[in-house]
Structure 1
Amino acid sequence: VWQDYEVRVNDEFVLRGNAALLKCLVPSYVSDVVQIESWTSSQGEVFGGTDW
């Protein structure tokens, strides 16, 4: 069954120069078949592969 879904990330606040850990929120009904390939920042930067 094909069904639309939305993957989300909650906002996190961190001081400049520190690391932040973001959790990808995938709906449970598709989590077994979804794999995250990359992240795209609001500035258009793409982080993929071993960047995370």
Structure 2
Amino acid sequence: MPQAFPKEFREDVIRVYRDSDASMAQGAKDFGISPSCLKRWLAIDEKNSTRP
């Protein structure tokens, strides 16, 4: 099983991606992760941010 990325890295990727106009594929490539990984991180972040 691949090693998990640190929480700080995931948060930085999400922040930079949301602040940019890059496509999901390009944003993922810029950080050396797969687009599906970025999509999953964004979904998790969205789910966590909507909780009270």
TM range (shorter): under 0.3
TM-score by length of 1: 0.25
TM-score by length of 2: 0.25
More helix per residue: 2
More strand per residue: 1
Structure possessing the higher radius of gyration over alpha carbons:
1
